[in-house]
Amino acid sequence: MFAYQSLSEASQKAEIRELALGFFDGLHLGHREVILGQRTPQDLTHSAVLSFQQHPQSILFKDAPIKLITGLPHKQKILHQWGMRHLILLPFNLELAKTSAETFLQEIGDALPGLTKIRIGQNFRFGNQRQGNPELIQKWAQPLNIEVFIVTSLQQDNQPISSSRIRRLLSERSFDLAQNLLGRPYSILGQVVEGEKLGRQLGFPTLNLSTEDGLLVPHGVYAGKAHCADGKSYTAAINIGQRPTVADQARTTIEAHLLNFSGDLYGQEVELEFIRFIRNEIKFSNVLELQKQLIQDIQSLSS
């Protein structure tokens, strides 16, 4: 998949005829319908997704930052798996936020003269004061002979599939329900970084993950899987928290102990899939009690 940082860069390097517009956090089943519809990867040679590097809320409402289901690297990986060929990632800033909807559309038309189709969700809004909507796009596109496909929100259990709904389910540790909306198991994608090796000292070596995905699940220990860059997967005990027994820290860490694994994953990309909740994170009276609990946690992975 090719990624471009501006409309002009996309114009110079790709012949784009079909464009899906949206932020698409989570890339859930509703987003998939907007982006792909019934098409296959073989049909996507001249198709692109236009999205933003930052969530608009993180720029416009800095006192209420939003936790992303899928950070930028994770979003790119999923789109690549879907067979998308081109991704235009515009930096979202105050200047862009103040751009009128009409001007934004004109910039798209000027940069992508071969455009014949636009795909959007029914709730898509854009431009200054969110004045742009599907009806405005249709009005702009008609004289240019650009077809506009407005995709109705998909429903699950008589409720719309949405990123905010998935965030709520994850905060409740409802992984099965979240999976039904995502169309895939919930996971965090990141790079393995060097930690303090406290797990190794306890006899349970862990990988430490650095990620751009938001930490949407409460602190605790989870049963899951670790999917490595070499294609191999391992059953894993995943800990999200602050390690209160062995460390006095305010920051939250993501650690995973992989069963039947030995080796070095530093610098590699790993995807941690969440299957079920095991227990809350608690502070033990001593390290020995923690070790006993870790043994129980690992034994529970096969139950």
Domain containing residue 245: CATH number: 2.40.30.30
- Identify residue 182 by its one-letter amino acid code: L
Domain that holds residue 219: 186-300
Closest CA to 23 of 66, 83, 80, 82: 66
pLDDT of residue 245: 62
Number of domains in the chain: 2
Per-residue pLDDT of the chain (303 residues; tens, 9 = 90+): 899 999 999 999 889 999 999 999 999 999 999 999 887 777 899 999 999 999 988 888 878 778 999 999 999 999 999 999 999 999 999 999 999 999 999 999 999 999 999 999 999 999 998 999 999 999 999 999 999 999 999 999 999 999 999 999 999 999 999 999 999 999 999 999 987 656 555 557 889 999 999 999 999 999 999 999 999 999 999 999 987 666 666 678 999 999 999 888 999 999 999 999 999 988 776 777 777 878 888 888 876
Pair (98, 195) in one structural domain: no
The pLDDT assigned to 263 comes to 86
CATH at 152: 3.40.50.620
* Cα 171 to Cα 67: distance, rounded to the nearest angstrom: 11
Reduced to 3 states, what is the DSSP secondary structure of residue 93?
Answer: coil
Is the domain of 131 the same as that of 192?
no
Tell me: do 65 and 10 sit in the same domain.
yes
Residue 206 sits in the same domain as residue 257: yes
Contact between 20 and 35 (Cβ < 8 Å): yes
Is the residue at 94 inside a domain?
yes
**What residue spans of the chain are helical by DSSP H?**
7-13, 29-35, 56-60, 72-82, 94-97, 101-111, 134-141, 163-171, 175-182, 198-201, 287-300
Beta-sheet pairing, 86-90 with 117-121: unpaired
52 burial class (0-12, 13-18, 19+ CB within 10 angstroms)? buried
pLDDT computed for residue 244 by the predictor: 64
Residues 202 and 108 in one domain: no
Same domain, yes or no: 206 and 157: no
Residue 48 and residue 151 in one domain? yes
